Structure 1
Amino acid sequence: MADDIREIIEKYALQNAVKYRAMPQAGAVMGKLMGEHPELRGRAKEVAPTVASVLSEVAGTGPQEWEARLAEIAPELLAELGARKDPEKGLSSLEGAEGGVVMRFAPNPNGPPTIGSARGIIINSEYVRRYGGRFLLRFDDTDPVNKRPMLEAYGWYLEDCRWLGAVPDEVVVASDRLPLYYEVAEELIRNGGAYVCRCEQAAFKALKDAAAACPHRSQSPQENISLWREMIEGPLGPGEAVLRVKTEIAHKDPALRDWAAFRIVTADHPRAGHKYRVWPLLDFESAVEDHLLGVTHILRGKDLMDSERRQKYLYDHMGWKYPTTIHWGRIKIHQFGSFSTSALRRALEAGEYSGWDDARMPTVRALRRRGIRAEALRKFMIELGVGETDISISMDSVYAENRKIIDPSARRRFFVKDPVPLEIDGEVPEVATAPFHPTLDLGLREIPAGAKLLVSADDLPDLKVGGKLRLKDLCNLEFIATDPLRARVIGTDPHQAKEMKLRIIHWAPPDGVPVRVMRPDDVDAGIGEVGIREDDGKVVQFERYGFVRIDSVSEDGVVAYFAHR
């Protein structure tokens, strides 16, 4: 019965994965399971670990494998989905985009782009590429306290946009444009759409929650203009006044009632210094910029629907037309935790990471350093498409795309993790000749060999006296001792090894180059063939280990960043 339940769970998990081309969430699979099999509802706690186990297995494969497996075990569920044809992959069409679009990606530069940022950069630029128009990079950097910008991050965004093939047609920096926001604010005040509120924060919240108007809401435009200028020039200080946009004070959603557009901030700004003391909040700045820049379509997280509802009040007051909005769900990647730049920054400052390009970071800079190609990330994000469903995916899908790109050009090298000395009796070739690629003609390399070599501790647990194996591209061995490790040559012919069905392992000379591999989950140390020094800055494949990018070469050795298997 347990096997039957596991197969049912696998069917539903694969059906969900094929439908959305993304890893399903446990809740979605459990919901489907309990809905279709109510007899299992009383066994939810017992079933949950099996769901987690199945999802872990599904995460280790990709869209093609999901569809093939579903076709094998539940073709009727695949038929129910319409077997998902290629034309349905990728981005859906944009309403009203036929004449061209203006789209923007608008980050707060308080850190470098994350994988989540890459999705926004890629999809916005791809729509502009498809329909024609302009792609804007706008820095929404008007919070110098809670999300304080980093001066380096402005350049990092430009650099990563170029790398992702999304060079912006225009770059806009909000902190350079405060006079424009002040002009709009004054116009808004004069036409009765905004007022200066001097309530203490707690007092205003109590009024808002009670759907009661602030006593300052009835001030005349002249009074509000006078107070507005006191905010800008003094003597009003931080916390003593905010400018609020009038909405419906009795609106059923308290979050939409008379929202704050400007507040007084006396902290310095990394770019503007102390030039301004009144700063717009994001809902105001973003709304105004979308209008001023002529943005036609906005891609926005569905969690920001309240922002859109607030901004539409501003647009109504000003007589503007709101852009077309497309909402998408959150994206979660199994191999990483939070994409919050603020949280990552705190962790970095606490010493948990070596830098923004640490192999464990979910940043574009880290992926670049590991050897992930922009084409792989771009293709994956475009095929992922845009939808309101929250999705949980695996980086394995990106790695699969990357593998297709880098495999033909990546040289093969030997790297022995956790090396163990091996002494060999008999005639061992002094030099091994090995191909740079198993199937393509990328040339040959020579690796010093001899009677004393190194092999990986990972290859030794089941090794016994009398056991046989082949050292790749070198010779066939029979082991005569395990502590210390000792073997004798029984031949050099690879055909002999094939006939004897010998396991093949890699090796390294004892005077090879020290190598440290920085992985997302650990650091591996070992010895590699000396030729690795020639591959500085390149992606290579350490045989039987995985693809890595050689990050640095020095007298002390080589540092590589792990890409993927």
Structure 2
Amino acid sequence: MDVDKIKELAFKHAVLNAVKYEGKANLNAVISKLFKEDPSIRPYAKEIVALVREVVNEVNMKSLDDLKRILEERWPEELEEKVIEEKKKTLPPLPNVNKYSKVVTRFAPNPDFILHLGSARPAILSYEYARMYKGKFILRFEDTDPKTKAPILEAYEAIRDDLRWLGLKWDEEHIQSKRMDIYYRHAEELIKLKGAYVCLCSIDKIREYRRMGIACEHSKDPVNVQLERWDKMLEGGYGEGEAVLRVRTDIKYPDPSVRDWIAFRIIDTAKHPHPLVGDKYIVWPTYNFACGVDDHMMNITHVLRAKEHITNTIKQKFMYEHFGWEYPEAIHFGRLNLEGMMLSKSKIRSGIEKGKYFSWDDPRLGTLKALRKRGFLPEAIWDIIIDVGVKPSGATISIANLYAINRKYLEPIANRYMFVPNPVKLTIKNLPSNIEAKIPYHPSFPERGHRIIKLQVTNSSSEIFVSKNDLNRLKDQDVRFLGFANFRIKMIDDKVFYAEFISKDSEYAKIHKLPIVQWVPATSYVKVEVVKPEKDKLENIKGVAENEVGKLRADDKVQFYRFGFVRIDAVSEDIVKAYFTHD
């Protein structure tokens, strides 16, 4: 062992550490650096610790200015900041931007459901493109089907809340059910342009004519007759299913659904009241009519939506031709799936109705409310969406990938605490007097401070909680209780264990590669319950945690040592409740 070489290397790392942390070097940090650079010196750990302690004491007696001067003179290369920037993914440019004075995008959810990871995609993409081009972003609620896709009153604000959580700010907001007169005026204008007609055929007959490529006989009636029928629809002269307004297209178009598509239908709102306007209207525009009119009136330049809307784009273009409007740029992307999480609206709705899921924010689901409840951060959702982008092909995101991205954001902000699941008491013996544990809130950010955990020691003994699984796994082994000391687990019989104090030396634990186990004082703790999704089930994990956990607040995101990241949901005098995020 070259003592002079070790002292020189220790001096360098002590100076670096002291400068980094405003004048005081940390003994353990310097020792770790030495062992990392030269693993061959580990067998001499005891001698190394003594040498390094001497060097650290010497360094800590110098002023910060002196240390900076030494660093500049002897190791100037260490003063150069080496910043490795992660390449930030960006979206590809939008087509034909120069055609428009301002880029205007919109997110147009149907408030019959809350947002999930899939529906967050058009929201984030539309917002980000508007921001990229210093344009306008519009939020529009498309709620004109009070029967088949009935809006939910709570969903309007729930969607707004999700968008705010994602960091989206909209320049305008519109609700289609409050724009009915606008749609009626455009319907009348379209009839006058001979671009639409009132059809009195049954739905079955309409389907048959479409399939055969035959025009409805009512389409040949003059405009004045069409207007009379339209007025009769609005006045309640027809019942549900007796009349519809159809847009003229190519009756021989290859896709039968495009042929003279339905623009308005009658809905009995006495039976199916709308949550915002009740039974005020009985004639309701279909998605394609209301959406098409609004995109034009709101000067939307670029529409970003899923590939399933390609047929809707074709339908709307026929209407635009009748009005003489220019259709916006349409970008269609593939379906987004999240492996291991439920995103299907129909299955989630059915599951809630049948009691399989307890609400929209059930942690087994892929809704934004559920992800948020578990402790996922909006930055992780953004990264996923921007990474997938506007690819026309479908994309499946693995749950492991989502966890990894979220972990990147959680790791630096989540303080560490000790939580013991399935706890059992363990007597620890031969303790020195005044022994205590000093545990940092975050090992990478010492400036956040630490807490001192003191044990009640009687006759050199005390009691702590450890996990039953750890105890069974580590019997007759040496362990280090996290941030505290080294112990030897001993067994009296098959059910009775105790731990015997060895030392407080953390280097001893590193040299002997002792397993590190979290623990909680048996005389000072809080009860904790963590809800953890396990495939299609929910597991309620009960345990105890150090008292500091009882000082946390709802929505705090923390990491429980050797357990995983959690979001604190509620804190009371009796118990702390949390949701498991991921490991």
Three-state SS of the structure 2 residue aligned to 1:261 is strand
Q: Which stretch has the larger CA shift, 109-118 or 233-242? A: 109-118
Q: Is the 8 A contact 2:108 2:140 kept in 1?
A: yes
Give the letter for the 1:414 counterpart.
M
Residues 448-484 of structure 1: per-residue CA shift (max 9 Å, x gap): 44522221233245334x2221111222222221513
2:448 counterpart of 1:440: no
What is the distance in 2 between the residues matched to 1:310 and 1:357? 36
Cα deviations by residue, 1:181-217 (Å, 9 ceiling, x for unpaired)? 0011111111211111121211221221111222222
Name 2:358's counterpart in structure 1.
354
**How far apart, in 2, do the equivalents of 1:386 and 1:280 lie?**
29
Query: What residue is the counterpart of 1:47 in the other structure?
Result: none
1:475 equivalent among 461, 481, 485: 485
Q: 1:503 aligns with which of 515, 522, 533?
A: 515
Please give the alpha-carbon distance, in whole angstroms, between the structure 2 residues aligned to 1:461 and 1:265.
Answer: 66
What is the alpha-carbon distance in structure 2 between the residues aligned to residue 188 and residue 281 of structure 1?
15
- For residue 286 of structure 1, give the secondary structure of its aligned residue in structure 2: helix
Q: Does 1:206 align with 2:208?
A: yes
Distance 1:408 1:104, change over 3 A: same
What residue is the counterpart of 2:474 in the other structure? 463
Q: Counterparts of 1:272 and 1:343 in 2: how far apart (Å)?
A: 28
Residues 88/526 of structure 1: CA separation in 2 closer, same or farther (3 Å cut): closer
Question: Does the residue aligned with 1:478 lie in a helix, a strand or coil?
Answer: strand
| AA matched with 2:366 | P
TM-score where L is the length of structure 2: 0.78
Structure-2 residue corresponding to 1:311: 316
- Quick one: which amino acid aligns to residue 416 of structure 1? V
Please identify, of 444-453 and 267-276, the stretch whose mean Cα deviation from structure 2 is larger.
444-453
In the TM superposition, residue 335 of structure 1 has moved relative to its aligned partner by 2.5
Letter in 2 for 1:286: C
Match of 1:531 among 536, 544, 548: 548
Q: 1:490 to 1:247 in 2, by over 3 A?
A: same
C-alpha deviation, 1:434, in angstroms? 1.0
The CA RMSD over aligned residues, in Å, is 2.0
Change (3 A) 1:87 1:386: farther
Secondary structure at the aligned position of 2:183 is classed as helix
Q: 2 CA distance for matches of 1:118 and 1:252?
A: 33
Inter-partner Cα distance in structure 1 for 2:440 and 2:103? 50
Q: Distance in 1 between matches of 2:198 and 2:87?
A: 53
**Partner of residue 94, structure 1:** 94
Query: Equivalent of 1:155, from 154, 157, 162?
Result: 157
The residue correspondences of 1:355-434 to structure 2 (distance < 5 A) are 355-427=359-431, 431-434=436-439
Identify which range, 495-504 or 352-361, moves more after superposition.
352-361
Q: Is this contact kept in 2: 1:114–1:339, CA < 8 A?
A: no
- How far did 1:167 drift? 0.6
| 1:140-197 deviation digits (Å, cap 9, x = unpaired) | 0011112111222211222222222211000010000000000111111112111111
Partners of 2:284 and 2:454 lie apart in 1 by 66
Maintained 8 Å contact 1:415/1:529: yes
Deviation of 1:437 (Å): 1.1
1:382/1:503 CA distance change after superposition, 3 Å: same
| 1:323-342 equivalences in 2 (<5 Å) | 323-340=328-345, 342=346
Which whole-Å deviations, capped at 9, do the CAs of 1:116-162 have from their partners, x for residues lacking one? Answer: 22222111111011112110000000111121112222112222222
Equivalent residue for 1:195, pick from 186, 197, 212 = 197
Q: Which residue of 2 aligns with 1:265?
A: 267
List gaps (5 residues or longer) in structure 1. 1-84
- The 3-state SS of whatever aligns with 1:383 is helix
C-alpha separation in 2, matches of 1:336 and 1:286: 30
Mark the runs of 5 or more structure 2 residues left unpaired by the alignment: 1-84, 457-461
Counterpart contact for 2:419–2:545, Cα < 8 Å: yes
Per the alignment, in what secondary structure is the counterpart of residue 577 of structure 2? strand
In the alignment, what sits opposite 1:30?
A: none
- Determine the structure 2 residue equivalent to 1:175: 177
- Superposed displacement of residue 486, structure 1: 2.5
Cα distance in 1, alignment partners of residues 436 and 362 from structure 2: 37
Greater C-alpha radius of gyration: 2
1:125 aligns with one of 124, 127, 136:
127
| Deviation (angstroms), 1:555 | 2.1
After superposition, give the CA deviation of every residue in 1:270-298 in whole Å (9 maximum; x if it has no partner): 00111100011111111111111110000
Query: Compared with structure 1, are the counterparts of its residues 148 and 430 closer, same or farther at alpha carbon in structure 2 (3 Å cutoff)?
Result: farther
1:543 paired residue among 561, 566, 573:
561
Are the equivalent residues in 2 in contact too, given 1:142–1:282 (CA < 8 A)? yes
Higher relative contact order (CA 8 A, sep 6+): 1
Partner SS for 1:408: helix
Measure, in 1, the Cα distance between the counterparts of 2:236 and 2:152.
Answer: 28
Instruction: State the secondary structure of the residue aligned to 1:217.
Output: helix
d(CA) in 2 for partners of 1:380, 1:475:
42
Shift of 1:360: 1.9
CA distance in structure 1 between the partners assigned to 2:353 and 2:453 by the alignment: 43
1:371-398 deviations in Å (ceiling 9; x for gaps): 2222232233223211101011124334
Q: Do the aligned residues in 1 keep the contact of 2:342 with 2:348 (CA within 8 Å)?
A: no
Which digits, 9 at most, give the CA deviation of each residue in 1:400-444, with x for residues without a partner? 333333322321100111212222232176642211111211111
Return the alpha-carbon distance in structure 2 between the equivalents of residues 377 and 526 of structure 1: 31
Counterpart CA distance in 1 for 2:248 and 2:324 is 14
Q: What is the aligned partner in structure 1 of residue 21 from structure 2?
A: none
Equivalents in 2 of 1:515, 1:167: separation in Å? 37
Q: 1:110 aligns with which of 109, 112, 135?
A: 112
Residues 326-365 of structure 1: CA deviation (Å, up to 9, x unaligned): 110000111312342x432332233222332222221222
Change beyond 3 A, Cα 1:142–1:343? farther
Contact 2:333–2:393 (8 Å) recurs in 1: yes
Which stretch shifts more, 189-198 or 165-174? 189-198
Q: CA deviation at 1:258?
A: 1.2
Structure 1 segments (4+ residues) deviating >4 Å? 85-88
CA distance in 1, matches of 2:327, 2:176: 20
| Distance in 2 separating the partners of 1:335 and 1:258 | 41
**SS of equivalent to 1:424:** strand
